[in-house]
Amino acid sequence: MSGNSFGTLFRITTWGESHGKGVGVVVDGCPAGLSLEEKDVQIELDRRRPGQSAISTSRQEEDRVEILSGLFEGKTTGTPISMLVRNKDARSGAYDAFRTCPRPGHADFTYHARYGIRDHRGGGRSSGRETVGRVAGGAVAKKLLSQEGIEVLGYVTELGGIKAQIPDVQHLSIIKELAESNTLRCPDPMAAEDMLKALDQTIKGGESLGGVAEIVAMSVPPGLGDPVFDKLDADLAKALMGIGAVKAVEIGAGLECAQMSGCQMNDPIVWDKGGVSFESNNSGGILGGISTGSPVICRIAVKPTPSIASVQRTIDLSTGEPAEIEIKGRHDPSIPPRIVPVAEAMVALVLADHLLRGKVVRV
């Protein structure tokens, strides 16, 4: 199987399966001399860790990271950084019924069609648990970006059709405080309350909800990205679309640009404190594939969790006969709250990679 690595100069390779002995990542290309400790990575892993609230899977994993290589006396050495997180609460028996019956909405059938074999336990390699490695690698990228004053933050803007009112991104510290104050990671307390009520009813009905998350990168310098195939927004789109359950990606105004006139869409360019600035940010901080210096704004549409308690129709691949399944394992009733740190990680990985492509970074 190919396609387990992401990035050019700052590159990660994730490995492991949902019900295997562990999952992890190898980070290659991180400059030497960056201060890094396990707690820097653990902070991010704790944000995506399962079993922390009634709206997430009840699977209890500590997700304690072990950094096996690439560090000496608290600093990176420039060699590959290998990180391991052991699986401790896998209950594979819950998936025996799906050994030959692919679950609708999952990668079960397509994985089997591609490779002729699959690990049916929790989805194996195609499980959302693979994102542990992405978040760990993204933590290193975030640390590198922080040396340049770049901050990446994500939050939920919509869940089950309920839309939040989001403060201006210039007030990122306020958004961060509000978003991290509730289990939904929604910076609108009133909307978050309505979302929780809707989610409670959805859970009782054996269903799930989709939603939208927004990711903002502040203080991104102008000039990152290339104008043809390595556009910054193209790489961001690939990074975000490569997360399981993401079905659409927007940059800046996104789909709304289709209803705008050129005058409405174009961001006026002005002088501000001796430098170039933009009066609006419909471009999402990127023009011609290159960063403008304005906040980079991405949005992802996340589908409802495919693992639901309702009866679903499928087939038995061993007999070709129709079958019905009812998924009773431990699953998130809604993915957006836990996808936020994953999306942040992918944006951070792209920015760190382009930062290294654009210049030599010494820390």
Asked whether the CA dihedral 71, 72, 73, 77 is positive or negative, the reply is negative
SS3 label, residue 133: helix
Q: Does residue 136 register a pLDDT over 90?
A: yes
> What CA–CA distance (Å, rounded) separates 114 from 112?
5
Q: How much is the pLDDT for 93? A: 66
Packing angle of the helix pair 336-358, 38-48 (nearest 10 deg): 140
First to last CA, the chain: 35
Residue 288, sorted as left (phi over 0), alpha (psi -120 to 50) or beta, turns out to be left
pLDDT (average), residues 287-300:
97
For residues 217 and 105, what is the distance between their CA atoms, to the nearest angstrom?
A: 31
Residue ranges of domains in the chain: 5-356
334, pLDDT greater than 80? yes
pLDDT for position 363: 54
Range with the poorest average pLDDT among 55-69, 249-263, 304-318, 326-340: 55-69
Q: Which residue, 18, 170, 6, 187, is CA-closest to 86?
A: 18
Domain 5-356 has CATH 3.60.150.10: yes
Closest Cα to residue 338, out of 35, 59, 2? 59
What is the percentage of the chain residues whose pLDDT exceeds 90? 76
| Phi then psi dihedrals of residue 319, to 5 deg | -120, -20
Task: At 206, list the tokens.
Answer: 């054996």
d(CA 238, CA 231): 11
pLDDT score of 254: 97
Is residue 53 pLDDT above 80, yes or no? Answer: no
pLDDT bucket at 330, cuts 50 / 70 / 90: low
Confidence bin at 96 (pLDDT 50/70/90) = confident
pLDDT at 89 over 80: no
Q: Is the pLDDT of residue 112 over 70?
A: yes
* pLDDT above 80 (res 94): no
Tell me what the pLDDT averaged over the chain comes to.
91
Nearest alpha-carbon partner for 108 in 356, 325, 338:
325
Can you give the pLDDT at residue 7? Answer: 97
Q: Is pLDDT of 128 > 70?
A: yes
Rounded Cα distance, 33 and 31, in Å: 7
- Identity (one letter) of the amino acid at 300? I
Tell me phi and psi for residue 302, to 5 degrees.
-115, 125
How many Å apart are CA 157 and CA 65, to the nearest integer? Answer: 30
Task: Say what the pLDDT of residue 272 is.
Answer: 87
Q: Which helix (H) or strand (E) holds 339?
A: helix 336-358
DSSP state of 361: -
Burial pattern 173-188, b for ≥16 Cβ within 10 A else e, equals eebbebbeebbbbbbb
Whole-angstrom distance, CA of residue 142 vs CA of residue 348: 6
pTM here is 0.93
E strand or H helix at 247, and its extent? strand 246-251
pLDDT given for residue 360 in this prediction = 46
